[in-house]
Chain A
Amino acid sequence: MKKFFLNLYNWIDERVKLEDLVNFMGKKYVPVHSRSIWYYFGGVTLFFFIIQVVTGILLLFYYKASADLAFESIQFIMSKVEFGWLVRSIHTWSANLFILAAFIHMFSVYFERSYRKPREITWITGMLMFFLGLGFGFSGYLLPWNELAFFATKVGSDILGAIPLIGEELKIFARGGEDVTGATLSRMFGFHVALFPAIFTVLLTIHLLLVQRQGMSQPMEMVEKEMSEEKKMPFFPNFLLRDLLFWLIVLNVLAILAVFFPSELGHKADPFAPAPEGIKPEWYFLFMFQALKYLPAHVLFIEGEILGILLFGAAGILWLLVPFWDKKTARGQKNKFITYLGIFSVMFIIVFTILGWLT
């Protein structure tokens, strides 16, 4: 067997010069320090994305994107298709864990200031993938065409409509018309399985290439020092194997969640039925939804909801552009404002998510 693999390696090596790649990877090191654990969340996010792609493709074999058939096709997947329930459950749970892992990865990069030069593009591509991830969540939520999804999409797209100037057009574009209908479902399906994955793949390729090319960012206090043998580990095989170990652990957690808390289907969406009580968006939108609820109807001359949306929009852009306005870090100085802003953001998200959950 060993001989077979060796022959196979040699066969490929003769044609594509694998030696260069092996040499490159052999020289690649990952810094070892007290906060090394955060390095693994990028890989975990990638792992969940891979699971999403695989389970998503499996679901595509049976899913029918039409208002008449979507719900029934999911029902069929869950009851008739062998392990269909498991695939759908894993897809749902993995989607949530993907967003959670992306949140953790984003904040760990932020607090470590890993976005600083020369990794600005890595940060930007990562942030864009994060926004796309939220888009994946929003578009995928409607696909089962059940009651909750229908009304949550209605509320979500209504919020989109409140954006000044372009809101109404954006809402009609997202819905494929004035209201949430079968056209919205087709549109969301298109976003979810074609448009978003295509953009995501491009961004992910750039992101991973940059990570490989630039290596892992070292904490600021370690930059000045030369990495000793104890303070670094080879990327291949040590870090890769540790990554694999981490993936196995999260796969275990995912399996337990998918089996013990399988995703429910609820009732088929009825556009003429009254909205059920307590319609809430997915947990990762909850902090924004809840914060908008606390805003007064009017703040000075502007509507509370519009002000909230503008503030969240501005915060998102500032967050995206942090490598460019955080001059202190770029100069290698400590910037406490960044730390306080990060802590405030984390606290804000946690508190408002809990409030949204409880109310």
Chain B
Amino acid sequence: MKKISISSVILFLLLISNSIQGQNDKCFICHESIGDNASVLFKKDIHFQKNISCSGCHGGNNQSDDMEVAMNPRNGYLGVPKGDQISERCIKCHSNSETMRKYGSKLPTNQIEQIKNSVHWQRSTKGTEHIVQCTTCHNAHGIVSVKNPASPVYSLNIPKTCSTCHNSAVFMHSYNPSLPVDQYQKYITSVHGKLILKGDSKAADCSDCHGAHDIRKATDVKSKVYPTNIPATCSVCHSNTAYMKSYKIPTDQFDKFSISVHGKALLEKNDLNAPACNSCHGNHGATPPGVESISKVCGTCHVLNAELFSGSPHKQAFDKKKYPECETCHKYHDIVTASNELLGVSKDAVCSKCHSEKENRKGYYIGMKMRSLIDSLDAEIKTANALVNDAEQKGMEISDAKFKLRDANQAKLETKTMVHSVDFEKFKEIVSGKGLKTTNSIKDEASAAIDNFYFRRYGLLVSVLIMSILAIALYFYIKSIERGKKKIK
């Protein structure tokens, strides 16, 4: 009974307060009385609940029920704000922390600063206003908190809201004809999109990756989706163990990626050719590649490797055992530079996972021979390099041989590609025909330069000796002349 009475009191107070709100606002009273849709929507608006009058945005005198007075431009009446006037009305309060505090709001007041850096703050095709106004995303009347499921910028609604413009080829064509308009369609096929459609507001929506007010072009280095920033953007959620707990997926992807050859290239060397998360998982349609498509995903960059692998005997064997193609040997997020140690039959070599002297012997011996060849090429490159350095240290001009070292290293790189074919003869052709042939030529040139260095030294010794003998002889000759023992005729 007591509970019922307390509930009744609260309900009564709410009704009272609702009826009080707008009670003195002649604009609202009048527009509501004629069933104006804006006033119907406005009743649910957060601004209405904070006792902000229609005149807060439209101007005019909200205390007069005389239309001539209330809607007189002399009284500051603006009518329906148009273009940038809309955002200007919003900014008036939303960039003023004191005003916001007065209404008990804890909202940030830097939205305008953020949006000014945004791609949306470009001039529209009309040229008189910016592309978006606050109302484009937040609505005009009936604005509710972003946490309210009725808000167009509530997490679950954001993809739909953004797609209003971004799905329209005609509209987008006016601003960026090269930008796709199928983001929403892709998004709903992604893990994130599917979860959002299921009502999981924790899943990433557009604003989680692109930002809310500060959305920049993906080519802008400050954008959250600029290639070098993508891993950090994804890791906001994917490295958060507590946040990801319910999804039961690992949260070490970012750590692994950071130490990988791709991560180092992207994050340390700022190499934009290196893949970020979206390169393998997709961006709007983000999803983990399946076992069968891993080689296709890797093959978009590592074309030759994928092609050679597809034609190799390994392809069938992997398919049969349902092994993921690239991942089996190279792992996935923590892919490191493929060293010689991966090849062969030693304990750490990946070949020995399937091949041994007893099982799958052919591969065992091919792996062993390939390793031996690549090691010999490595050793020869090192020797050639040392000779070139030695010659250079001795001050010899050896730029040709130095340039050829690139060819030798290129051959080494080619062997790393050819290894995917598991074709020993082709592999051998690269090592011997290209690699070792080049290293031999480098060694010859470097050795000749070093020999030349010593030839110069010995040549100098001989010439200094001759000149010194001449000088001594001349000295004695002069002395003999001066002593009058000899006369020049």
Contact = CB atoms under 8 A, between A and B. Distances in A.
B467 A252 contact: yes
Contact of B395 (A233, A241, A244, A264): A264
A259 B460 CA distance: 7
A162 interface: no
Contact of B464 (A79, A85, A252, A262): A252
B474 A245 contact: yes
Contact of B474 (A75, A86, A244, A252): A244
A85 B478 contact: no
A57 interface: no
B478 A241 contact: yes
B34 interface: no
A242 interface: yes
B463 interface: yes
Nearest to B459: A259
Interface bracket on B: 20 to 34
Given A248-B470, A249-B471, A255 B488 contact: no
Interface string B467-489: 11011001101100110000010
Nearest to B399: A75
B441 to A, nearest CB: 15
Contacts of A332: none
A238 B397 contact: no
Nearest to A86: B456
Interface string B298-324: 000000000000000000000000000
B359 interface: no
B488 A248 contact: no
Interface of A is mostly: helix
B426 interface: no
B398 interface: yes
A255 B460 contact: yes
A241 B467 contact: no
Nearest to B456: A259
Contact of B488 (A237, A242, A262, A264): A237
Nearest to A246: B471
A206 B489 CA distance: 30
Contacts of B468: 252
Contacts of A251: 467
B82 interface: no
B269 interface: no
A55 to B, nearest CB: 15
Interface of A: 75, 78-79, 85-86, 233, 237-238, 241-242, 244-245, 248-249, 251-252, 255-256, 259-260, 262, 264-265
> Across chains A and B, which 10 residue pairs bring their CB atoms closest together, nearest first?
A79-B397, A78-B397, A248-B471, A259-B460, A245-B474, A252-B467, A237-B488, A241-B478, A262-B395, A259-B456
22 contacts: A75-B399, A79-B400, A85-B397, A86-B456, A237-B481, A238-B478, A238-B481, A241-B474, A241-B477, A241-B478, A244-B474, A245-B474, A245-B475, A248-B470, A248-B474, A249-B471, A252-B467, A252-B468, A255-B460, A256-B464, A262-B395, A264-B395
Given A85-B397, A245-B478, A252-B467, 9 more contacts: A75-B399, A86-B456, A238-B481, A241-B474, A248-B467, A248-B470, A255-B464, A256-B460, A259-B457
